[in-house]
Homo-oligomer: A and B are copies of this chain.
Amino acid sequence: MNTLTHLNAKGEARMVDVSEKQTTQRTATATASVEMHASTLDMIIQGGHPKGDVLATARIAGIMAAKRTPELIPLCHPLMLSKVEVDLEADAQLPGVRIRATCKLAGQTGVEMEALTAASVAALTVYDMCKAVDKRMVISNTYVEEKTGGKSGDWSFDN
């Protein structure tokens, strides 16, 4: 494919017609990272609440955001997600939090945007909850890691 399908012949935005596309099982996994000061990460991990509320809150925010993707991204189709899972992991090497979001549905369009939106909003939520102690966090490396189903079949970023 070598044109921007979200634009019509006049270069105007539109929500493309997917009514002729096949309904198949589709999944997509997206990732994002929140880089932070090591002491900020320690606060998330420690303090009597291992796997405590920062990560739990961000997980919920990500799951809820996935469902609202078509309200946020103008040309996304509404769709009926059958599964959303958001994992957050403290990574002392980064240092920071690594996020992976997976969405699934049987439908006519892929779920990359839903997975990306879940990962992005989970990252923003981590940022929000830690910004009082760390103003220099950076959200980075937000991308689609892999997807399955649809006309183009299985695909992963690294191959």
> Which residues of A pack against B, CB within 8 Å?
1-8, 10-19, 25, 32, 43-44, 47-49, 51-54, 56-57, 59-61, 63-68, 70-87, 104-106, 108, 112-113, 116-117, 120-121, 123-125, 127-133, 135-144, 155, 157
**CB-contact partner of A144 in B7, B25, B105, B135, under 8 A:** B135
A157 → B minimal CB distance (Å): 6
CA distance A29 to B144 in the complex (A): 26
Residues of chain B contacted by A5 (CB below 8 angstroms): 132
Q: List 7 A-B contacts (CB under 8 A).
A: A5-B132, A7-B129, A13-B53, A19-B25, A56-B60, A113-B127, A113-B131
